[in-house]
Structure 1
Amino acid sequence: MQVSASSAQDYIAQLPAERQAVMQKLRETITDNLPPDFSETIAYGMIGYVVPHSVYPAGYHCKPAEPLPFMSIAAQKNFYALYHMGIYANPELMDWFLAEYPKHTSAKLDMGKSCIRFKKPEHIPHALIAQLVQKMSAQQWINLYENAFRKGKNGQ
């Protein structure tokens, strides 16, 4: 369910009324805990959190004109989604999240590589998401990203 929005507020305002409060609370959970040097934007039709060019001039290697993506949230057709690239790139962070998740919600974890899906708003573990957001600085994400990119370029 992509919307054409110019800001996070605009994205949320375009959602059906019953979904706006859920997305606003999820957004606040993230922005209240986001480490310095990340910026909020609209990316790929979602609310995104990126490392801006002012911090990482190289940008995203696939599209250097775009800032380095890190995390996004979206109201999809049948669920709310949190996309966290750091979980995908850092096995220790993934292990931590998998161990902590059942402590915060009774809902079964519905997760892809970097996508965590929440079918019911009451199952969104805001306290856990706040902790997850705090666990990686922009510089740590840049280091992980560059290390993975170098390995990919060198065929290792």
Structure 2
Amino acid sequence: MQIQADSVADYLANVPTEKSGAFAKLRKSIVENLPSGFKECLSYGMVGYVIPKSIYPAGYHCDPSLPLPFMSIACQKNFIALYHSGIYANPELLQWFQEEYPKHVKTKLDMGKSCIRFKNVKTIPFELIAELTKKMTPEDFIDIYESNLKK
């Protein structure tokens, strides 16, 4: 399931009712804790948090016309997804998250390389996501991104 939207507001208006409260709370946890410099926008059909071209003019190496994507949230058919490029690119941040997760949620972590899937909206660890959101500034992510590009 992909929500067709032309703006963040449009995306939010089209989240299914049974997930809308949790999705809004997840978004609020991110927006209220996101370090200065990131921008919220639609990114790859999701609510995204990017480093705008005004800060990082080179843009995303896969498509330099786009800003550098950092984090996204999406409402999928069977779960709410949080995509976090910092977790993918920084092993220490990944380890921290994996160690903290069981302290907040009793169910097993359902995670891909950068995707965290929340199948039960009642067990989304909003406080943990808020803490994760604070852990990386745009400058931190640019440094990691550029060092990984050079490899």
Report the TM-score when normalising by structure 2: 0.97
After the TM superposition, which parts of structure 1 deviate over 3 Å for at least 4 consecutive aligned residues? none
Give deviations 1:30-81, integer Å, cap 9, x for gaps: 0000000000010111100000001000000110000000000001000110
Counterpart of 2:150 in 1: which secondary structure?
A: helix
Partners of 1:75 and 1:42 lie apart in 2 by 13
Q: Percent identity?
A: 59
Counterpart of 2:117 in 1: which secondary structure?
A: strand
Instruction: Give the number of aligned pairs.
Output: 151
Unaligned runs of 5+ in 2: none
Alignment-derived partner of residue 115 in structure 2: 115
Correspondences of 1:22-61 after superposition (within 5 Å): 22-61=22-61
Counterpart of 2:74 in 1: which secondary structure?
A: strand
Counterpart of 2:108 in 1: which secondary structure?
A: coil
Alignment-derived partner of residue 9 in structure 1: 9
Unaligned runs of 5+ in 1: 152-156
Report the TM-score when normalising by structure 1: 0.94
Alignment-derived partner of residue 131 in structure 1: 131
Residue type at the aligned position of 1:86: G
Moved more, 4-13 or 33-42: 4-13
Partners of 2:8 and 2:19 lie apart in 1 by 14
Alignment-derived partner of residue 154 in structure 1: none
Give deviations 1:90-118, integer Å, cap 9, x for gaps: 00001100110000111110000000001
Report the Cα offset of residue 23 of structure 1.
0.9
